Structure 1
Amino acid sequence: MKSFARWLGLCVLAFLALQLFFVGRIASMAVLAPQSTAFQRAEAWRIVNEKGRLPWSQEWVNYSQISDHLKRAVIASEDDGFSNHDGVDWDALEKAWAKNAKAEERAEKRKPPANAPAAATVRPPKVVGGSTITQQLAKNLFLSGERTLLRKGQEFVLTLLLETFLNKQRILEIYLNSVEWGDGVFGAEAAAQHYFRKPASKLSAYEAARLAVMLPRPKFFEKVPNSAYLSGRSGVIVGRMPDAQLP
């Protein structure tokens, strides 16, 4: 029993030490740009293993050097309540859970009999996230891509820390400089140069909307730039951009 209590105590201390580490890292981001994110390091490892080299494009630019069109487009597309919520949009999260539950229910009804051939298997339902920009940043900065309750719990803690130590403008600045926009393409400046051969400060409203629409599946849309969905959805985001509130 004593050994179990000692083991439990060590686990608690390790957890607290990890949270203190996160506090220090996030607090430093108020003045220092993160050198890399956990997601970027994982992607770099994957690319090197697949290609034997590391084609990489990323350049940090200040908040003022990123087009307001892109800021508005990303907010309109990813998190329209960004400037007002405390890091978690509970309404959006509740709607996402409801959509996922309905999708799973429909998939279950379409499920073929156990003796059906393999070709008759049903595709798994599409999962809707409902994560805010702050939650996405928390995950990309520090966490793996696994979907577990423990990882989600840590994401909520990190989201709270980001909202506590950084203002909304800084959160959006770090997000736009670190988010993925293609295979080895990270940040607004690299994306603007890669797709439109211009700096991020010069993006038009429609160009910004296209980049924003790419965010959930950047590597996919990089391969199909003439996608009808990409064009149509970009038009929708352009229409929403005037209502997007900037921090």
Structure 2
Amino acid sequence: LAVVDDLLAIIVIAVFYTSAIDAVALAAAIGFVILFGLVVRSRRPRWWLLLPLALAAWGFMHASGVHATIAGVLLGFTVPARAVHGEQHVRTHDFDDAVRPFSSGIALPVFAFFSAGVSLVSGAGPAAVLGQPVVPAIVLGLVVGKLVGVLGTTAVVTRLTPLRLPDAIGLRDLLPVGFLTGIGFTVSLLIAELSFPDGTHTAGAKIAILIATLLAAVAAAILLRWDARKARSEDMNEDGVADQDIARIGDEEF
């Protein structure tokens, strides 16, 4: 859900935050993405070749007027999600293991350090910042909107299509998950900065994201504890077949 949520947010960025497009730069970016895809699917891809191709795709995508995060999404889609050339490991997992230390240890903390700061002292003070209409709108959007989106979409899909939830997972289990999706940080902060380039409501948007994150985390923790204590039915996913495991979370013996 977190990955899909971020992808949808990036699509929103691409559609609504792109003004003029440089067709030549965009074509060059797509060309480098294709080259990256050919190399990454070869028998022995080399990082010293993949890295400059990725940087070139990112640079030309940025120059084209389309937000550069789209380049990262396209590059990610080119990496094989299944084992190829007789390999034992999936390359997406290998790439994730290689990139995660730099992403989680450097990129995200640096982005958070420069983007999450909110000054409540300067200007008209904290009351003026918290009183901006954007604050309750963002809080409701993240805490309530994400929850309604997760539960509503799942309910519609599982009732109107043959798709069902996994065995022993019910709609009630998605209640805390829906709140967890309201924990917004990196992508939410990025959209906030893009939405208010003049800085008028940027502080209010950032503080709203932090408030929503806290509320969503607390609500999810409470509901996870409630869900773990509540007895399970024999057919949680309502597929007409008794679930194999109906034990409550935490009942496992080690």
Q: So what's the TM-score if we normalise by structure 2? A: 0.26
User: Whose RCO is larger (CA < 8 A, sep 6+)?
Assistant: 1
